[in-house]
Amino acid sequence: MSRTTPRTLLAAAATAALAVATAITPAAAAPAPDTVPAVPAAEAGGTAAASGFWACTVPSGYTYTSARNSYACSGGSYTAKEYYVQPPAEGLWACAPVSGYTHIAVQNSHTCSAASYPQTAFLIYKPVTGMWACSVPSGFTYTAVRQGHECSTGSYTATTFQLRAL
């Protein structure tokens, strides 16, 4: 009769659990349209993108993910708002709505404000049919509404829209 050690049994159980989990989990499962995808920490603050730069204005086709008071944009005699500018990208917390994108969540952000008060930041994504969004972009209509906190910066609820492309 063979002796099986607890370590051998544990290793066999772990291998079996991994095999079952792999078999029932889709390889490339996309998040459900009504959930807010996780945002990498670098994007949440908006300060680590390789294509970003500080500027005195936000050029057309770009957005900004952070703001600060700086003498660079005023000629040195007073402080003026300076923006950390980036091209828009899905999953980016932008400090202003972006044309061609919709937002699926909002939050109060001191990063977006060069003052002591917070400003709204928007979690932006390209709109697709079935997505729940805080606004209805051009070229879309909506097929359902619901109340939730993801589109509200306060303790109240706000309407979200289930999008459908026209």
In DSSP notation, 94-144 reads ESS--TT-EEEEEEEESTT-SSSS-EEEEEEE---TT-EESS--TTEEEEE
108: Cβ–Cβ under 8 A, 6 or more apart, which residues? Answer: 118, 119, 120, 121, 153
pLDDT level of residue 95 (50, 70, 90 thresholds): very high
pLDDT digits (tens, 9 = 90+) for 35-56: 444 434 344 444 444 579 999 9
Q: How is residue 135 written in tokens?
A: 């606004």
Predicted local distance difference test score (pLDDT) of residue 117: 87
pLDDT level of residue 155 (50, 70, 90 thresholds): confident
Q: What is the DSSP letter of 37?
A: -
Q: What is the pTM of this model?
A: 0.66
34: Cβ–Cβ under 8 A, 6 or more apart, which residues? Answer: 131, 132, 162
Of residues 137 and 116, which shows the higher confidence score?
137
Q: How far is CA 37 from the centre of its chain?
A: 7
Per the rule left: phi > 0, alpha: psi between -120 and 50, beta: everything else, 150 is alpha
Residue type, 68: R
- Work out the angle at residue 33's Cα, subtended by the Cα atoms of residues 27 and 34, and round it to the nearest 5 degrees: 125
